[in-house]
Amino acid sequence: MAEVGAGMTSRRLGNWLGLAYALTVFAFIFLPVAVLVLYSFQGGRLPVPPFDGPSLKWYGQIFADRKLMSALVGSREFAGRRGDIVGGRLRSRLPRSSRAGQAADSRRGIDAIRHNCPSHG
pLDDT at 96 over 80: no
Amino acid at 75: S
pLDDT at 44 over 90: no
Closest by alpha carbon to 59, among 39, 76, 81, 87? 39
| Predicted pLDDT of residue 98 | 46
Entry pTM: 0.45
The answer to whether 113 and 90 are in contact (CB under 8 A) is yes
* More confident of the two residues 83 and 20: 20
* 87 touches 93 (CB < 8 A): no
